[in-house]
Structure 1
Amino acid sequence: MAASRTIEDIINSDTDNEGDFEGFSSESDISVCSDLSDNDSESESEVDQPRNDEWTKRFTPITVNDFTCESGTKLPDSFDVNSASPLDYFWLLFSMELFVEIARNTNRYAKWRMDQTGTVDPYWTETTPNEIRAFIGMEIIMGINQLPDTMMYWSKNPLIGNAGIQDIMTANRYQKVRQYFHVSDREKEPARGHRDYDRLYKVRPILDHVTVSFLLNYNVGRELAVDEAMIRYSGKLSFRQYMPAKPIKRGIKVWMACDSNSSYLSRFQVYLGRSAVGVEHGLGFNVVSGLTNNIHGTYRHVYFDNFFTSIPLLEHLYENGLYGCGTVRVNRRGFPTELKKPKEIKNRGESMVMQKGDSNLIATVWKDKRLVHHLSTLNQPDDIQPAQRRVGPTVLQLQQPASVKSYNKYMGGVDQHDQLRMNYTVGRNSKKWWRYLFWFLVNCSIVNAFIMYKETSKRPRNKKRYTHIDFRIELAQGLISGYTGRKRKASEIDCIPLVDSQNVSGHINGKLSGPKGRCRYHLKTLGVRRETVYGCTVCRVHLCRDGCHARFHNL
């Protein structure tokens, strides 16, 4: 399944009409002495003007070009924001064609599985796109109304069971769809060791589709945050990561680039572990440069934490028309020694700034509870901003470098997206790792669709405040769209009259809801245990159809 445009087309196209970026101006305001024979002039120039590769406390104003690109949601011309529902926004990111493909691959996998085992599953019937839609809608509802065990949704206890889910499909059918659920063609999967082997093949159709659709339907703003996210998974997997300091300690790591203001997920990469090919500037450099290579020359501001930040990364972004800011580890190569543990900084709120020659790159250290170090190419070196910190009932009025304030304000885009995504998980526990990644992609599509809806929708609503959970519920209802896999609804089969001749004095013989029960007449009168689903719908007593109803009521 191919999207209308490939990811390469989007990356290589100039969507922002900025023209070819030729780099920042190489002209300098610093005058260089042309008389090299004059020793006094030469020595004075060396003292007054630092070299471009040396850190100095003598500041030169930096230049930060204005961001002029369009930002926000991009909708098709025919899209009506006055009537569009959450499902319409979801279709922009997660196409209806995907459900057709998932149904086809699910049926293929069921057949392949039966061929492999040499048996026929008598309880399996082929699924349809509408049933897959309803299945995913059920998973969204289960993420909102969470129960410890899946089968509890079909409980007959009215305090526990979910009547809506029970009307969509039976528990057995749900288990069968879940058992054979597949999003790729299992028969065509390349074997391990094959030159076309793809470790993400099982989710490749969905992965490629949303990668393109996320970019096509939204332009990120000036501020962009790059960070990591974890998909919880504790099974065996070659690229499963262990991060003891994170809330999710074991799982699949995903690099994400989100709009700092709206939290829209623009681009992402699934981390498959350490590459066999060495990297020149480290993993962090490759991740950020890879996630931002489609916005070169747009003068956006990119924020990242100390895992990514390095001097080569900031210089690389600057050379490609992007500004960067991030916390930094003091053992990074090239970081000024004077700022690592400066003895001059003793009190909270004190700081020190250095600039690399006359370039845009500045390094800062600021004392909060402990020393905090930053690198930045977007803040003036002499720009100091106010900061407040509360210590018990006391509010401290402090000073902080502008890079600290910018970082704290704009770094949270990925964390905010994660918070929206993890508030209502989608998908039940499974032994198959790829399903966790699939539900991650579905959930990110829901969050992005909600962000687009909040920005652009003008549809009249009964509620004054339309929340994230309201969006999910309406989306799930749209996906289910009245689908029912049952032959008849439970309400229609609770009490179906059978044989009128057995009805006695207002007592009606019919089929009782619930499991089979022992015939009261056989048990009490004949001393025989005999089970039946029929009985008196008035007395709610199980009675056989072969005359027990009349005999019991005439005793």
Structure 2
Amino acid sequence: MARDRFEKILQYFHYNDSTTNPARGDANHDKIHHVRPVFSIVQRRLVENYRPHKSVTLDKAMIPFRGRVSYRQYLPAKPCKFGVKVWQLADSSNGYVYQMEVYTGKQDTGREVGLAWRVVWDLTRVLSGKSHHIYMDNYFSSPQLYQDLLKDDLYGCGTCRLNRKGWPDALHKNCLPKQKGVSKLYQKENLVAACCECPAKTEGWNACRNKGPEVVENYNKHMNGLDHGDQLRMQYSTTRRSKKFWKYLFWFLFNTAVACSFILMRESVNHQKKSKTGRVKEMCQLKFRQNLAKQLVGQHRQKRRHEVLQKDSAGRSHWPTSMPKSRRCKLCSSRKIRKESKYGRKICDGNLCVECFEPFHVLSFTEE
């Protein structure tokens, strides 16, 4: 495809009918209505084609964007400081994205425990009752959330902020000694809070001594699952510059779908290639994308028609020159126009006007 044709298609590229979206201020107004069909298809396919392992990671991803959009975020601690947040639930072993939700601002859905609680609860509905282990950072963690997940046969693990409601009072900042290698666990029913050694007691929590919290090792092992997916998604990004955010969201969905497809190919036993010694040969993502592009294009390939002047067998170009005698122009004669010219080309066997020289040759080569 020519560059200009690609840019023209991209200029008029749309994914949904904007007239079907209710006006702003309406309760049914969808802020990502432009790409809602694509988002729904990708979301459904991600769930249908994969079953996650026991451990999953819940974290946020950023779509870089500095334009005007009402739900743009500013995160100074992130490499990408301006953009739109996307909550994601990914497999901790390979980074496969299983669930997504674009943060478009506050939702008018009635009373809720909090934004972090709602995000975790919404993304984990597809795993309800399946005994998965969900790892998250301190933005989402809270004792109340872990109790609710446990009632739903889901296990939560993550770092927790000391000012969270329900956190044991004996484990606040002033009670944490600086001695390394010493830890203490506080347990309340089925919840366990782990930190450094602290001799104080707190109401409802019982101190449990042990050699070291294994939960810390598990958290460090499984929490970086979403980072693997982000690396695959951003390694060969297809994003194009635009003033409209919904186009950035489309490219984000496209790159996520390709990265997850690559993960599925690696996980599938039927797609593994082995060497003569029986060693499994891993395919790189670049090779996978090249094969994917060929499959998408298929036989729909057409050579570009170059409007250039050909050369004769002697390698001489068809440049105009003075002819021995003025005669009627061949192109003008074919158009029933009587006009003479003293210019032409001997190998073309005829005279041509200077302005008719290029159209005559382009027409001749096109018909051939």
Fold conserved between structures, TM > 0.5: yes
Q: Among 166, 172, 175, which residue is 2:4 paired with?
A: 172
Q: Matched residues in 1 for 2:244 and 2:160: separation?
A: 37
Aligned partner of 2:226 in structure 1 is: 414
Change (3 A) 1:351 1:197: same
Aligned partner of 2:75 in structure 1 is: 243
Aligned partner of 1:190 in structure 2 is: 22
Aligned partner of 1:364 in structure 2 is: 194
Q: Among 40, 43, 53, which residue is 1:208 paired with?
A: 40
Q: C-alpha displacement at 1:188, in angstroms?
A: 3.3
Change (3 A) 1:483 1:302: same
Amino acid across the alignment from 1:412 = N
Q: Matched residues in 2 for 1:344 and 1:270: separation?
A: 37
The alignment's TM-score, normalised by the length of structure 2, stands at 0.77
Q: C-alpha displacement at 1:198, in angstroms?
A: 1.5
- Is residue 266–residue 272 contact of structure 2 (8 Å, CA) maintained in 1? no
Q: Matched residues in 2 for 1:316 and 1:520: separation?
A: 85
Q: Among 228, 235, 246, which residue is 1:423 paired with?
A: 235
Q: Could you list the per-position Cα deviations for residues 352-374 of structure 1 after superposition, in whole angstroms to 9, with x for gaps in the alignment?
A: 21111xx110111148xxx9xxx
Q: Matched residues in 1 for 2:129 and 2:210: separation?
A: 25
Aligned partner of 1:508 in structure 2 is: 316
Confirm or deny that 1:270 pairs with 2:102: yes
Q: Matched residues in 1 for 2:162 and 2:121: separation?
A: 21
Aligned partner of 2:292 in structure 1 is: 475
Change (3 A) 1:275 1:190: closer
- Is residue 266–residue 282 contact of structure 2 (8 Å, CA) maintained in 1? no
Q: Matched residues in 2 for 1:204 and 1:404: separation?
A: 39
Aligned partner of 1:305 in structure 2 is: 137
Change (3 A) 1:172 1:442: same
Q: Matched residues in 2 for 1:251 and 1:279: separation?
A: 27
Amino acid across the alignment from 1:448 = C
Aligned partner of 2:310 in structure 1 is: 496
Confirm or deny that 1:261 pairs with 2:81: no
Change (3 A) 1:547 1:183: closer
Q: Matched residues in 1 for 2:33 and 2:261: separation?
A: 25
Q: Matched residues in 2 for 1:247 and 1:475: separation?
A: 30
Q: C-alpha displacement at 1:309, in angstroms?
A: 0.3
Aligned partner of 1:118 in structure 2 is: none
Q: Could you list the per-position Cα deviations for residues 276-295 of structure 1 after superposition, in whole angstroms to 9, with x for gaps in the alignment?
A: 45644211111111111222
- Is residue 149–residue 155 contact of structure 2 (8 Å, CA) maintained in 1? yes
Q: Matched residues in 1 for 2:284 and 2:269: separation?
A: 13
Question: What is the percentage of aligned positions where both structures have the same residue?
Answer: 37
Aligned partner of 1:221 in structure 2 is: 53
Q: Among 254, 263, 271, which residue is 1:451 paired with?
A: 263
When the two structures are aligned, how many residues end up with a matched partner? 317
- Is residue 265–residue 271 contact of structure 2 (8 Å, CA) maintained in 1? no
Amino acid across the alignment from 1:289 = W
The alignment's TM-score, normalised by the length of structure 1, stands at 0.52
Q: Could you list the per-position Cα deviations for residues 476-529 of structure 1 after superposition, in whole angstroms to 9, with x for gaps in the alignment?
A: 222222434x6x435x765535xxxxx6x935234xxxxxxxx8979xxxxxxx
Q: Matched residues in 2 for 1:449 and 1:291: separation?
A: 21
Change (3 A) 1:331 1:282: same
Change (3 A) 1:495 1:349: farther
- Is residue 281–residue 312 contact of structure 1 (8 Å, CA) maintained in 2? no
> Could you list the runs of 5+ residues in structure 1 that have no partner in the other structure?
1-168, 372-379, 385-399, 498-502, 511-518, 523-533, 536-543, 549-555
Q: Matched residues in 1 for 2:103 and 2:11: separation?
A: 27
Q: Matched residues in 2 for 1:251 and 1:302: separation?
A: 26
> Could you list the runs of 5+ residues in structure 2 that have no partner in the other structure?
199-206, 276-280, 323-343, 346-353, 359-368
Q: Matched residues in 2 for 1:365 and 1:419: separation?
A: 31
Partner of 1:294, secondary structure, is: helix
Partner of 1:362, secondary structure, is: strand
Q: C-alpha displacement at 1:462, in angstroms?
A: 8.9
Aligned counterparts, 1:73-152, within 5 A: none
Q: C-alpha displacement at 1:192, in angstroms?
A: 2.6
Q: C-alpha displacement at 1:305, in angstroms?
A: 0.3
Q: Matched residues in 2 for 1:201 and 1:304: separation?
A: 29
Q: Could you list the per-position Cα deviations for residues 129-166 of structure 1 after superposition, in whole angstroms to 9, with x for gaps in the alignment?
A: xxxxxxxxxxxxxxxxxxxxxxxxxxxxxxxxxxxxxx
Q: Matched residues in 2 for 1:455 and 1:215: separation?
A: 15
Aligned partner of 2:335 in structure 1 is: none
Change (3 A) 1:428 1:381: farther
Q: Matched residues in 2 for 1:231 and 1:405: separation?
A: 30
